[in-house]
Structure 1
Amino acid sequence: MKNITVYSTPTCPYCHMVKDYLKKNDFQYKDINVAVDQRAAAEMIKKSGQMGVPVIDIDGNIVVGFDREKINSLLGL
C-alpha cells in the first residue's frame, strides 16, 4: 500500500482532478488543505520548492501538478 499525501486547496481544479484520479484507481490518500493549514503549507513548500498546488507526496517522491505519467510511474500503473 502506498503512502500518499495530496496538498491541495478547495478551489483548485487540478487538485480535484488528482483526487478523483486516485479514487478511480482505488488509492487511499491523505488530503491536506493548505489554504487553512499554514504549517502544512510550509511543509509542502519545503518538500517541493513550490507554492502552487497540487503537490502530491507518494512514498516520499514529490509530484508537482497533475503529472499523470509521473503519478502512474510512482503508483505502478
Structure 2
Amino acid sequence: MIREHELVVLKRDHEEAGLEAGDVGTVVLVYPKGGYLVEFVDHEGNTMALLDLEEGEVLPLQGPALLRAKALRSRNLEVQE
C-alpha cells in the first residue's frame, strides 16, 4: 500500500506535464476511494507537475534505485514586475 509522502515511479509518460515513465514523484494525498495526488519537483524543489493518478499508474520506489537527471522542457513564463 502506498502512503502519503512516499516516493513513487510513473509507469507511463504524461507528455502534457513533461513527464516520462520512470520519473519519480511524491504522494501528497491518498484519495479515500483510490488513487493519488502526486507532486513532481525539479532539483530545487520547484513543483513541475501535480497530477491526479490512478493506482495502476504508479509503483512504489523500492530497493536500490538510481535516480537520474534530465533536461526539462523550457517553459514560457511571464515575468511580473
- Give the shorter-chain TM-score range: under 0.3
TM-score normalised over the length of structure 1: 0.27
TM-score normalised over the length of structure 2: 0.26
Q: Which has the higher helix share?
A: 1
